[in-house]
Structure 1
Amino acid sequence: MPLSMHPPKAYLNHAGASLMPPAVRQAMVDHLARDSLLGGYTAAAAMAPELDAVYTDSAQLMGCDADEVALTTGHASGWREVVGSMHFEAGDRILVARSEWGGNYAALTHIAQRTGARVEVIPCTADGTLCLTQLAQMMDARVRLISLTWLPANGGLIQPAQQVGALARAAGVPYVLDAAQALGQLPVDVRALGCDVLTAPGRKWLRGPRGTGLLYVRRDFMSQLKPRTVDQYTAPYRDGAYHLRADAKRFETSEACMAARLGLGVAIRQTLAMGVETIQAKVRERAECMRHALSAIEGVQLQDLGTERSPLVAFTVKGMPASVVRAHLMTHGVDVAVNGLSFTPLDMAARGLHDVVRASAHTDTRDEEIEALVTALTHLATKP
C-alpha cells in the first residue's frame, strides 16, 4: 500500500464521508469484475434482483413504498431535480431556516432571481431552532415551498422536522426535507415527518459509496412535478408518444453506476440489520464523549446549537482559522472537516463565524481515536 493510502490514526469525518465497510467495497469490486467479463448490460441483468432490492430496502429505511424511491448520485442531484421541477412565479414565497444548507440556499436564490419569487428566512429561537410559532404566522397563499435542512452541517442542531411537516400539511404547502445528515443515524418515517420530498446521499451515515443517494417523492405529490428534461427511461415511448413515468424513477436517468448502486444496497442492508435506533444511540454516545472532552480544553470553544444535539460536533480554537487547526490535526493523524461560510451562510454570518472545525464519529469509532483528537488539540491550544 502506498504511503499516501495509509489510514489516519483517527478518522472523525463520518458526517462528510464515512469509511465504507468491507462488504460494501467487495460488492462493488465483484460487480466491476462482472462488468469486465460480461459487459455492462448483461452484468446488470444478472444482478437485477439485487438492484431491485435497493429500492425495497430504501423504502423500508424511509417508511415509504418502493415506487416513491429514486436512486441518485447524491443529495444535490435529487434535490435539484425535484425543486427544479416545481413552478415559481413573481411574488411566490420560499421559506427556509437560518441553518439551511448552502447548496440548497444557492439554488433557491437562483430560482428567485430567475422567477421573481422571494426566499425568506424563518426566525429562530436563541438556540438556533426555527420558531414554529413564527413559521405558522408566515403561512399564506403565496408560500410555495418550505425547504428545511433537518440536521445542519455546521454543528449539533436538530430542527423540528415533524412539527414543520404538520404545519406544511395543514397549509397545503410543499415541504422538501434535506436529510443528508439524518438518514442512517436517525429513525426516518416520511409519513410521520409529513414531507413531500426527502433527499440524502449514501456516503455519510449509511456508509455507502460516494456518488450514490436516495430520493423520496410522495406519490400524490408526483403529479405536481414536471422534470426539466426526460429521456427514454424517464419517459418511455409508446403509442406514438413519450409518457412520463408515474413513479419516482422519473427523476433518474438511463445511465448509472451499477457497482455503486450494489454497494449502496449492501450499506442499507447493514444499516437495517444493525437497527437505526442502535446506531443512533452509539453515535450519540461517541459525540457526547467528544463534546465533554473538548469542553475541558482551554482555548477550544464548542460551536454547537440546539438542545437535543446531533452527532456533528463543531468547535473553534481561539485565534486560529479552522484550516490551520485541521492541518495541525492531520499531522497528528487525525482527520476532521472544515466547514466554511458557504456551508451554512445565513447561520454562520448571523453568529459571526467564518469557519468551524467539525468532528463526527460513527458506531465503530474507538476511544483511542477520540483521545488522539483531544491530545492533538491540547498541544495546539497551549502553544504560544
Structure 2
Amino acid sequence: MNRLQFIRRLGLGAGVFALGSARAESEQAPSGWPPKAEAGSAAFWEAVRSQYVTDDDLIYLNCGGLGPSPRPVLDMLDLSSRILQHRVETGHFYFEEARAVVAGFLGAQPEEICFTRNATEGNSIIAVGLGLRAGDEVIFETHAHPGGSLPWLNRARQIGIVVRTFEPDPASPEGNLERIAALVTPRTRVVQVSHITAPTGLVMPVKQLAEFTRAKGLWLHVDGAQSAGMIPFDLHALGCDSFATSGHKWLGAPRETGVLYIRRERVDEVAPLHVGAYSSGDFDLCGQLVYTQGARRHEYGTRNAASVVALAEAARFQNTIGRERIAEHGRVLADYLLAALQGLPRVKVLTPTRADMRAAMVTFAVEGRTAGAVFGHLMETQRLRCRPVNEAGLEAVRVSLHVFNTLEHCERVASTLARYTRA
C-alpha cells in the first residue's frame, strides 16, 4: 500500500471521517519526494535531505539520541491528529494497519508486535513480565543505556534478582560471546544485549548469541534502540526472544513511539505489566480475564493513534529510500570520519575498527579534554550537534551519521577537531 492509498484509507477505513480540503492538500506529495534522481546519486541524497526541516545553520549528528522526522512523517502526524480531533475519535482502528507495516519492516508477524512509548517501556515490560524470582540472574553489558539497565536494577532492588555485567569486547564478536558465556551459571535466566551499543556504536553478534541462549534455555532480550532505522535486519532471522526499540531515533518517527517484539511461541511467558480494556479478549467481574491474542495485550489503554500512524509512515519513508542504501550511506560516512580521526594527534577512536562490528556511529575521546568541553566546542564554533558520552567513564563524543548527513559534515568535524587539538 503506497502513501496516497494509506491516506485515503485513513479517511475512509472507519467510515466516519470526511477529510475535505485536508485530504486534497495531503495527497500532493512533498516537493522533491519521492526522489526522481538515480538511486544513490548526489541528487538522490539531496532530495532525501530536502525532506528534513532542521535549522539551516545546524549540522545535526545525534540520531542516536533523538532523530528529526522527515516531512512525510510530520504531514501524516498532523493530518491524522486533525482528523481524529475533528471527529473526537481514538483512532485505535488504525493500529492494525500500522502494525502490519511495522511488523513487515522489522521482519516479524503482526501478532508479535505491540506499540509502546519507547524502548525503555519495552525493556521494562520484559524485565517485569518474565516473573523472575530472588536469586535469578540477568546478564547485560556495562555499556547498556539506562533505559536498558535500570529496569533490571529496579527488579534487583524490588525482588532481589542478581545483575551480572560484562565489558564489551571491541576487538571481536567471538570475544563478546565468550564474555557472556563466562558469566552464565545455573541461576542465569536472561541475557540482554544492545543490538548496537549507545556509547560506542559496537554491533553485537545477536544471531550467534541467540543460538547460544536457546541451547542453554535462556531468554534473550535485545535493546534495539540504536539499530532500527540505522541498519536492516529481520527479527526472525536474528532469533531473539524479544526486542525493544524507539521510533524517535534513527526511524525519525514522532516522540513517544516505540515497538516491542515478543516471539510468537513465547508471548504467554511475559505477563502484562499494565492491563486495560485493550488487553483482554474476554473478561467478567467474577475473576475471568482472557488476554487478547499476541503481543498487543500490552497495549492497555487509550493511545495517541496519530503518532502510531506516523510511526508506520516513518517505516514507509525508509523503505522508499531503501534500507540497505541507508545502511551503506551511513557506513561510508562513518568510514570516512573514522579514518580522518585516526590521523589526529590526541584523538582516540573508541568505536570498533572492524567493519562488521560498527555501522553509522563514531565515538572518540580527546586526550586532556572532557566530553563536555569537546561537545561544547563543536557546537559553539561550528554548530555541529553531536552527543557527549559520559557513560562508563568514557569522557567521549559520539557522532551519529544518517541519511541527511554528508561527507562535508564529516570533514567539518575532522577539521574542527584538528584545529582544536593543536590549540
TM-score (norm: length of structure 1): 0.88
Q: CA RMSD in A?
A: 2.1
1:188 corresponds to 2:233: yes
Cα deviation for residue 256 of structure 1 reads 1.4
Aligned match of 2:340: 293
Q: State the distance in 1 between where 2:353 and 2:161 align.
A: 30
Greater mean alpha carbon deviation, residues 63-72 or residues 332-341? 332-341
Aligned pairs for 1:5-16 (under 5 A) are 6-16=55-65
Q: Is the 1:128–1:306 contact (alpha carbons within 8 Å) kept by the matching residues of 2?
A: no
Asked if the contact 1:316/1:356 (under 8 Å) is kept, the reply is yes
Q: Does 1:149 align with 2:189?
A: no
Report matched runs for 1:193-342 at 5 Å.
193-238=238-283, 241-305=288-352, 307=354, 308=356, 309-331=358-380, 332-341=382-391
- 8 Å CA contact 2:76–2:309 kept in 1: the answer is yes
CA displacement, residues 176-198 of structure 1 (integer Å, 9 cap, x when unaligned): 01111111222222222121100
Q: Cα distance 1:299–1:65, how it changes in 2: closer, same or farther (>3 A)?
A: same
C-alpha distance in 2 between matches for 1:335 and 1:323: 12
Name the SS of the counterpart of 1:52 in structure 2. Answer: helix
Which residue matches 1:376? 416
Cα deviation, residue 239, structure 1: 5.2
Is the CA contact 2:194–2:222 (under 8 Å) kept in the aligned structure 1?
Answer: yes
Match of 1:89 among 124, 133, 149: 133
CA deviation map 1:96-117 (0-9, x unaligned):
2333223322221221232222
For 1:340 and 1:124, the matched residues in 2 are separated by 16
1:121 CA displacement: 2.3
How far, CA to CA, are the matches of 2:315 and 2:169 in structure 1? 35
Separation in structure 1 between the aligned mates of residue 116 and residue 74 of structure 2, nearest angstrom: 19
Q: Which has the higher contact order (CA 8 A, sep 6+)?
A: 1
Secondary structure of 1:16's partner?
coil
The code of the aligned residue for 1:320 comes to R
The reply to whether residue 163 of structure 1 matches residue 208 of structure 2 is yes
Q: C-alpha separation between the residues in 1 aligned to 2:349 and 2:421?
A: 14
- Please state how far the C-alpha of 1:22 moved relative to its aligned partner: 0.7
Which residue number corresponds to residue 120 of structure 1? 164
SS class of match (1:310): coil
CA contact 1:98–1:122 (8 Å) conserved in 2:
yes
Residue 329 of structure 1: how far off its partner (Å): 1.5
Q: Which residue of 1 aligns with 2:42?
A: none
Residues of 2 paired with 1:376 and 1:253: CA distance?
A: 49
Aligned 8 A contact 2:118 2:247 in 1: yes
Measured against aligned partners, the alpha-carbon deviations of 1:289-323 in whole angstroms (never above 9, x if no partner) come to 11122223333221213622221110122221111
1:47-81 Cα deviation digits (max 9, x unpaired): x45x4222111111221110110011110011111
The question of 1:63 aligning with 2:107 is answered yes
Q: Is the aligned partner of 1:77 residue 2:124?
A: no
Q: Are residues 369 and 233 of structure 1, via their aligned partners in 2, closer, same or farther at CA, if it must alter by over 3 Å?
A: same
Which residue identity lines up with residue 77 of structure 1 in the other structure?
E
1:293/1:20 CA distance change after superposition, 3 Å: same
Determine if contact 1:58/1:268 at 8 Å carries over to the other structure: yes
Q: Is the 8 A contact 2:170 2:202 kept in 1?
A: no
CA 128–98 in structure 1, closer or farther in 2 if over 3 Å, else same: farther
**CA contact 1:82–1:251 (8 Å) conserved in 2:** no
- Counterpart for residue 35 of structure 1: 84
Structure-2 change in CA distance of 1:323 and 1:7 (3 Å): farther
Which 5+ residue runs of structure 1 have no aligned equivalent?
Answer: 342-347
Match of 1:53 in 2: 97
Q: 1:115 to 1:327 in 2, by over 3 A?
A: same
Conserved 8 A contact 1:78-1:251: no
Taking structure 1 as reference, are residues 156 and 378 closer, same or farther at Cα in structure 2, changes over 3 Å only? same
Tell me if structure 1 keeps the 8 A contact 2:282–2:291. Answer: no
- The separation in 2 between residues aligned to 1:260 and 1:8, in whole angstroms, is 28
Normalising to structure 2: TM-score of the pair? 0.80
Tell me how far 1:221 sits from its aligned partner: 0.8
Matched letter for residue 255 of structure 1: T
Instruction: Specify whether residues 306 and 215 from structure 1 end up closer, same or farther in structure 2 by C-alpha distance, changes over 3 A only.
Output: farther
Q: Which moved more, 1:158-167 or 1:78-87?
A: 78-87
Task: Give 5+ residue unaligned stretches, structure 2.
Answer: 1-53
Residue in 2 aligned with 1:345?
none
Structure 2 distance, partners of 1:101, 1:17, is 14
Q: Is the 8 A contact 1:208 1:263 kept in 2?
A: yes
Residues in 1 aligned to 2:138 and 2:107: alpha-carbon distance in whole angstroms: 27
For residue 402 of structure 2, what is the amino acid of its counterpart?
A: H
Gap change, CA 1:380 and 1:119, over 3 Å in 2 = same
Residue identity in the other structure for 2:301: S
The equivalent residue for 1:26 is 75
Match of 2:73, SS state, is: helix
Residue of structure 2 in register with 1:344 after alignment = none
Equivalent-residue separation in structure 2 for 1:324 and 1:123 (angstroms): 26
2:151 aligned counterpart, secondary structure: helix
* Conservation of the 8 A alpha-carbon contact between 1:11 and 1:369: no
For 2:215, what is the secondary structure of its paired residue? helix
User: What SS class does the counterpart of residue 291 from structure 2 fall into?
Assistant: coil
CA distance in structure 2 between the partners assigned to 1:135 and 1:28 by the alignment = 42
